Structure 1
Amino acid sequence: MTFTPASRLRRLRRTPALRALVREDRLSTDDLIWPVFVCDGEGITQEVASMPGVIRRSVDLTVEAAAEAHAAGIRVICLFPYTDPSLKTDLCEEAWNPENLSNRAIRAIKAEVPDIAVMTDVALDPYNAQGHDGIVRDGVIVNDESVAALVKMALAQAEAGADILGPSDMMDGRIAAMREAFEGAGYIDTTIMSYAAKYASAFYGPFRDAVGASGALKGDKKTYQLDPFNAEEGLRCVARDLDEGADMVMVKPGMPYLDLCHRVKETFGVPTYAYQVSGEYAMIRAAAGNGWIDGEKAMMESLMAFRRAGCDGVLTYFAPEAAALIRAGWE
């Protein structure tokens, strides 16, 4: 007896043309934000051992990288500084120094590649002698004093010309405080992409190596970053940050929290992003380096997952490679 399926769904998978015709999501270079690590000096590159293929660049080479990214169709670059340990203090004063690495890099990029959008990180850990995203008093990460410092940091970045500020500290009330400060200082068009649902994750380790925060960190970040068990709390944090004036929101990490990405987009309908963090990147690189997976295919599949979950874009260290493949007609 021959069985005849009532519906042959494979018909639409039969050829590349048919698959392309019914494809539900697309991946574009417009969806990519490239995180770049900046170090001091001139003509300097430094490898990040725990992130194969990722390097720190001095400001001059960061400008060159921004130009190359823009030519490849990447519209946003995100800066993270590797701060000299001698500049790290308990009060994090270097964070709002107009001449710190991030602010110098912002100005240099905007002078040479004005059409690329520059995003920054707003958190104190690159400048904190104790490695935390906020100021530490008697072992406690204090909220309101940290917010005051973060506002000064954010204003310095806005003055330097940053297009998008990414508060990643998870202090309560920081979005409202920054937005009020921007309005008062005339930076009414400065965009905020809040790290609204940032979890206390094991996937951040290589990043802390890249910015030089690993050795400085005392304790953990569980009193301000979210508990990985809590989805509803993540949604409450997103709602709060939107109410306080965030223009866009981010879920971090990315792939382990795709459920949050989907729920944020479905619930709020706002521009929603994910950060494919250093540990996610390192796992794919390591597995590919050992010949266990096809690195190129795994990279692109992982990026497609963010779009399918509802993200409007993704911060990823794979951005230059992914952009080259997309422009070459990857399928």
Structure 2
Amino acid sequence: MSDGFPEGVGGPAGAGPAGTTPGFPTVRPRRLRGSAAMRRLVAETRLHPADLILPVFTMEGLTEPVPVRSMPGVVQHSRDSLRKAAVEAAEAGVGGIMLFGLPRQKDAVGSGAWDPDGVLQQAIRDVVAEVGDALVVAADTCLDEFTDHGHCGVLDEHGRVDNDATLELYGRMALAQAEAGVHLVAPSGMMDGQVGHLRRTLDAAGFADTGILAYTAKYASAFFGPFREAVNSSLTGDRRTYQQDPANARESMRELALDVAEGADMVIVKPAMSYLDIVRQVADAVDVPVVAYQVSGEYAMVEAAAANGWVERERIIDETLVSIRRAGARSILTYWAVEVAQRLR
């Protein structure tokens, strides 16, 4: 009776001497782990600088960058420091940059989001002028940084996010970004129909070549905590009526099917490390590039543990990134993008 293993290889533990399999000592997997050169030769998953996308925050009116207390090494950029950060990323071989704009003034509808001279459009123009096509330039296409209530859309008379009214504002924002020269708009608000609305809006305005990097599976996660500080969030309450429930997986596949059908060029899973099963399911289901966002809380926990001497910092950074790639992500949004890219090169 066959045991399901190739002859002389498998079999139950204890079938050979000292609890080994019948193939022992002929079959020794450790032969492929014996040196750094051998491990490098047979590695199944590799990181490359071009796999990495750097998220950056730029604050209107700053003359010097401001450190984000809960994210050591991350800052809110001035215009000058943003330009320098973009050049550094390009020189390191990083694949892309994701821009988040932080205005001085906010209002109920987030009107600064589509202001041609607003902080985000200014940042897009600055970065594109500085690095050209050396980096893929993406921009967050969401209202949460621009609204005085901190939600990702406009509120109705009951204080709930109005999905369809928000889509119209997303369209204005995407057009302003496209006119500023962005390569990818990145709708992150999890509004129903957002991808299709942006595709139609961009195409009608002559921006058929502007891509959509869709936040397809964005969970209502506690891992976003430090990000709220980084973007000077005004949010009270939570976003559970539009971001996904961490308990659900099949829901992500439904969102994925809708986004791809509506014209998404790339899709994002966010957060990454606690949702590697979702990354794998998404990657197995579609042929568009899959991106995973290693978010602020994931970054902050590693930095805090490393600062206390509890983990080896560089090893654990690399291990987390490899695990995300191994799960199926083509690209990774990570605050360590430049540091890791420089080390890989």
TM-score relative to the length of structure 1: 0.95
Query: Offset at 1:110?
Result: 1.2
CA contact (8 A) 1:82 1:210 kept: no
Query: Offset at 1:108?
Result: 1.2
1:38 and 2:80 aligned: no
Deviates more, 1:102-111 or 1:27-36: 102-111
CA distance in 2, matches of 1:91, 1:311: 34
1:29 and 2:49 aligned: yes
| Cα distance per residue 1:48-69 (max 9 Å; x no partner) | 0011110111112201110111
1:198 and 2:215 aligned: no
Query: Offset at 1:320?
Result: 1.2
Map of 1:239 onto structure 2:
257
Aligned residues: 323
1:257 and 2:275 aligned: yes
Map of 1:161 onto structure 2:
181
| Cα distance per residue 1:218-274 (max 9 Å; x no partner) | 211000000001100011101100000000000000100000000101111320010
Structure with bigger gyration radius = 2
CA contact (8 A) 2:220 2:246 kept: yes
Unaligned runs of 5+ in 1: none
CA distance in 2, matches of 1:172, 1:163: 23
CA contact (8 A) 1:42 1:60 kept: no
Matches within 5 A, 1:1-331: 4-5=24-25, 7-41=27-61, 43-84=63-104, 87-115=105-133, 116-137=135-156, 138-213=158-233, 216-327=234-345
| Cα distance per residue 1:195-233 (max 9 Å; x no partner) | 0000000000111110100xx212110000000011000
CA distance in 2, matches of 1:78, 1:162: 10
CA distance in 2, matches of 1:294, 1:103: 39
Residue 44 of structure 2 aligns to a residue whose secondary structure is coil
CA distance in 2, matches of 1:82, 1:149: 17
Residue 127 of structure 1 aligns to a residue whose secondary structure is coil
CA distance in 2, matches of 1:16, 1:317: 27
Letter of the aligned partner of 1:241 in structure 2?
Answer: D
CA distance in 1, matches of 2:89, 2:343: 13
| Deviant stretches of 4+, over 4 Å | none
Query: RMSD across aligned C-alpha pairs, in angstroms?
Result: 1.2
Query: Offset at 1:288?
Result: 0.4
TM-score relative to the length of structure 2: 0.91
Unaligned runs of 5+ in 2: 1-16
